[in-house]
Amino acid sequence: MRRRDTVERYTRPVRWFHAGIYLAVLVLLVTGWWLLLGHEGRPSALARLFRLPDTALHKDVGWALAALVVAGPVLGFRASRTFVRETLRVRTGDVRWLLRWPAALLTGRFGRHDGHFDPGQRILNVLLVLSLTALVGTGAGLALLHGGPAFAVLARVHKWATYACTLLVAGHVIVAAGILPGYRGVWRSMHLGGRLDAGVARRLWPGWLERVRGERRGP
């Protein structure tokens, strides 16, 4: 039987950190929207599962997310440095790649780039980090304050950050789940051992794959 050609895109610690972040964010979005829609006092399915009021569950998971956001970059300094460097690096072909991106969602014919993240991912990374920072920061302020003008401002920012984060997370899930033809198979990079089919990697991150394979071959 022919062995499948795969490549590891993310290490196990990075995959576990990613899993912790998205589970916490999903719980926060579910409970946050439940409360935002005026259902306080009527426990959601998650509140019944954990046997906690939605307000308490939202606050506790919010503190857990804050701890992850602080501890992750400290414990995984090298991965965090790579994430920041690759996210903020601008390349000459970015605009051309972005122009081809809508059609490539269906055809899989993405433009070439040599980064760890494609230009669309880099934009999403920046927006997600900003929205999560706003959510965690304002959420911590709301948990520590009890009324007043500052509380009202934080509540307003927290609500608008929730809107933004919801849209960004929904888009990320649609792409990362491989629902769109162009991104079919990409979900394996963060799941089932993290071994991604080399053909998928070549279609989405050609420069990165060549760099990794070149390093493995040696001089």
Partnered with residue 8 across adjacent β-strands are 195
pLDDT (tens, 9 = 90+) of the chain, 219 residues, equals 556 788 888 888 888 999 999 899 999 999 999 999 989 889 999 999 999 999 999 999 999 999 998 888 888 888 899 999 999 998 888 999 999 999 999 998 999 998 899 999 999 999 999 999 999 999 999 999 888 899 999 999 999 999 999 999 999 999 988 889 999 988 888 887 778 888 888 999 999 998 888 754 444
Query: Who contacts 181 (Cβ-Cβ below 8 Å, separation ≥6)?
Result: 105, 106, 107, 108
Token digits of residue 86: 């690759």
Domains of the chain, each with CATH number or no CATH: 6-217 (1.20.950.20)
Partnered with residue 196 across adjacent β-strands are 7
121 to 36, 59, 118: CA distances (angstroms) = 29, 29, 5
